[in-house]
Structure 1
Amino acid sequence: MGRELVGTAVLLISIVLVLAVMFAVPWWVLVAGPTGRSGTAYRIGTGACVVGYVCVPVAMVLGHGPPQFDPAAIVGDVALGVLWVVFVWSLIGLVVRGGLGVAGVKGLRTTRGVAVAVVVVSLGLSVFGVYEARRIPQVRTVDIAIPGLADGLDGLRVVVITDTHFAALDREQWSKGVVDRVNAQRPDIVGLAGDLVDGSVHKRRDQVAPLAGVEAPLGRFYITGNHEYLDDAQSWIDYMASIGWQPLHNAHRTVDRDGDRLVVAGIDDPAGADVAGHGPDLPAALAGTDPALPVVLLAHQPKQVADSSAAGVELQISGHTHGGQIWPFHYLVRLDQPVVQGLSKHADNTQLYTSRGTGYWGPPMRVFAPSEITVLVLHPQR
């Protein structure tokens, strides 16, 4: 219990300090510098930063904590996204201002010019980011050569959606649009690689219900991501089964097309390890498979590829990273995951495809990390 309290205290202190820095840098670039730290604009700007510093974490706790108050989640998420963009471009503004100073271009006029540029760029990218996140994702097609794949399965189309994160903002119509675009790709198999929702079946089922319309003759497969375990993952596993999807809860299915076969397996997200009966178990997922058949594995986090490659899995499909979602957050993601997006090769000839995700989490924004519906076209390795 003592360790848990210490861990919680460290987390809270870290959040307070990080938010302080995220507000302090824009305050310095956009408020203190251009106003000379005096006057009405300075007082209003400083007050706005202080209010934001208090309100953003409160909104996030009310929205994503036990109250689960959706309006607060929307306000907090939007504010956090805009804050991140403004913070990043304020840092860039500081660098530009320093470079101009070295070049002899100094003074209040220069400081104000940089501040205006930061505001314009931040506003433009925030608007663009909202559009990018809310639109129906574009299709990304990738050809992958699979060792041991039967010639009769050449051209097999595996459509991947992941990280839809249905949450406080109602995206039922978006969900229907995603289904239409998925079906337009003529998939043989559809895999949903986790982080379906944030919230309970009771609150989010209307947004998820359109997924019943996905058409895939060889199967529609679903695994849990870490966010399912923030609520009741088993309820979502049961719900997805009720609308015709096959949950791969540390399990596999052998799909067959005209006598040629392929193993599709799935494992839980590591976050499930603290939940009875959950947690990734790759040996259980692969138990009883024909060793002569190639395996396509759904595993939410790219770093699970270490176990996949050790087991000789031919292809792992993951999400989780969102491609960073809002630039340049992908540099931080890379500290935790071996890959941020795209196709990569790993030990023992295991290939990993990491999707940038179909939706978004938190801030309804994507900046330089577009969402995707992925079509993986499988071919025998020659």
Structure 2
Amino acid sequence: MPRLIMFLAIPAVLFLLPWWTLIAAPTDGAGPLFQLGSVVFLLGYLCLPASMFLGHGPRQSDAASIVGDTLLGVMWVVFSWSLIGTVAGLGLALAGVDNRAAIVAASVLAISAALVAWGIFEARRVPRVRTVDVAIRGLGPGLDGLRVVVITDTHFAALDRLRWSERVVDVVNAQHPDIACHAGDLADGSVAKRHPQVDPLGKIEAPLGRYYITGNHEYFGDAQGWIDHMTSIGWQPLRNQHETVSRGGDQLVIAGIDDPTGVGLPGHGPDLKTALAGADPHTPVVLLAHQPKQIADTAAAGIALQISGHTHGGQIWPFHYLVRLDQPVVAGLSRHTDNTQLYTSRGTGFWGPQLRVFAPSEITVLILHPERAES
């Protein structure tokens, strides 16, 4: 019962404030525009939980999930700007401005429409390449300039993004990666339904290895199926294990751990000690861990660099403020001890709503260099 209440209450909040801002306040709660707008908002409110249940519940209807996810994203944008508009309206009232409700409604509607259109474009475009130089303590000179290309949170789902997947592969290969990584949340749905969108990843070329870890969304579905499928297309899943790569006579450990949600599946769940068992303690380690908050254990182990995703950079502003309550970092390179850094990708795809607002997607090129001693 509490879950049902939350399932209905959250959409109610998302619709109630925009209804007041766009419909009730500017019409003074009367007239045909008020009546028509109220009916539209009521239908939207009923549609959101219904389509989300049909799309993400037992039926797994792709059509319903597209409707529900899109409506959720649009209403988050409208809700956010309705809240801002309400604050602005108070300022207009203090300034004695007439027709402030109409001014606020028109502004919120115009800004929301523009951001939704832009957000859809940003979400569906091929991500920009973000290049970051990372100094690694103890990295040998033979590995100076090593190119680690990271994709993550592709979330292949109901929208068929096969062509997008192929273009992402082209961009990744154009970066000439030495190592390619997928940091989890590969797809939403079964292997049978989603593998055509995933299969192009098998064409990524990286001479020192292609490595994949599970994210939380794999554990919402068929995690082992996706692990097996990625193996079948030439990727090396790192399930609490590591590989050692060599170039120019120097070595680097590439390790990976399961997502914390894996503890619900027998034999799964993060185990950093097992992942590093047998690794040369004098060789720097790059760890793939889906969630940034796993950095606490990473830093305690003295690992040089953790690569994560999960946050999507917030995906739709201002959601990143809520993400920050759960994760220590939302995006970018951060240092957590003298020895440990974390790179958090904003993600390559998107989850649910096909919108990205002030949180652009990325294909990341991490260029590793030996850390220079300070003079």
TM-score range (shorter-chain normalised) is over 0.9
| SS of 1:358 mapped into structure 2 | coil
CA–CA separation in structure 1 for the residues paired with 2:65 and 2:235: 29
Q: In structure 1, what is the equivalent of residue 36 of structure 2? A: 44
Question: Contact conserved, 1:194 with 1:225, CA < 8 A, in 2?
Answer: yes
Alignment of 1:239-258 (within 5 A): 239-258=229-248
Runs of 4+ in 1 over 4 A off after TM superposition: none
Q: Which residue of 2 aligns with 1:4?
A: none
Counterpart among 6, 9, 20 of residue 28 in structure 1: 20
Instruction: Report the 3-state secondary structure (helix = DSSP H, G, I; strand = E; otherwise coil) of the residue aligned with 1:265.
Output: strand
Contact conserved, 1:156 with 1:188, CA < 8 A, in 2?
A: yes
Corresponding residue to 2:50 among 48, 51, 58? 58
Q: How big is the shift at 1:10?
A: 2.6
- Name the structure 1 match of 2:344: 354
The equivalent residue for 2:64 is: 72
Counterpart-to-counterpart distance in 2, 1:300 and 1:11: 27
Question: Shift in Å at residue 14 of structure 1?
Answer: 2.4
Structure 1, residues 125-167: CA drift from partner, whole Å, max 9, x if none?
0000000000000000000100000011000000000000000
- Partners of 1:379 and 1:347 in 2: CA distance: 18
Residue 123 of structure 1 corresponds to which residue in structure 2? 113
CA contact (8 A) 1:309 1:348 kept: no
Q: How many residues align?
A: 372
| Cα distance in structure 2, aligned partners of 1:124 and 1:373 | 25
Displacement of 1:348: 5.0
Whole-Å separation in 2 of the counterparts to 1:206 and 1:48: 37
Identity over aligned pairs, percent = 66
For 1:349 and 1:331, how far apart are their aligned partners in 2?
28
State whether structure 2 residue 289 is matched by structure 1 residue 299: yes
1:319: which partner in 2?
Answer: 309
SS of alignment partner, residue 334 of structure 1: helix
After TM superposition, the score normalised by the length of structure 2 is 0.98
Amino acid at match of 1:182: V
State the AA in 1 paired with 2:280.
Answer: D
Unaligned runs of 5+ in 1: 1-8
Amino acid at match of 1:183: N
Residue of structure 2 equivalent to 1:172: 162
Shift, 1:15, TM fit: 3.1
- The answer to whether 1:94 aligns with 2:86 is yes
Deviations 1:4-62 (A, max 9, x none): xxxxx333322322221111100111000111101111111111111111110110111
1:116 aligned partner, one-letter code: A
**Equivalence for 1:148:** 138
Residue type of the partner of 2:226? W
Q: 1: CA distance between counterparts of 2:205 and 2:270?
A: 28
**Aligned AA for 1:73?**
S
What's the RMSD between the two structures over aligned residues?
0.8
Unmatched 5+ stretches in structure 2: none
CA distance in 2, matches of 1:77, 1:17: 17
Task: Indicate the SS of the match to 2:262.
Answer: helix
- Structure-1 separation of matches of 2:297 and 2:175: 31
2 CA distance for matches of 1:291 and 1:84? Answer: 47
CA distances 1:52-93 after superposition (whole Å, capped 9, x unpaired): 111101101111111110000000011111000000111111
Give the aligned partner of residue 368 of structure 1. 358
- What letter matches 1:220 in structure 2? R
Q: Do residues 262 (structure 1) and 252 (structure 2) align?
A: yes
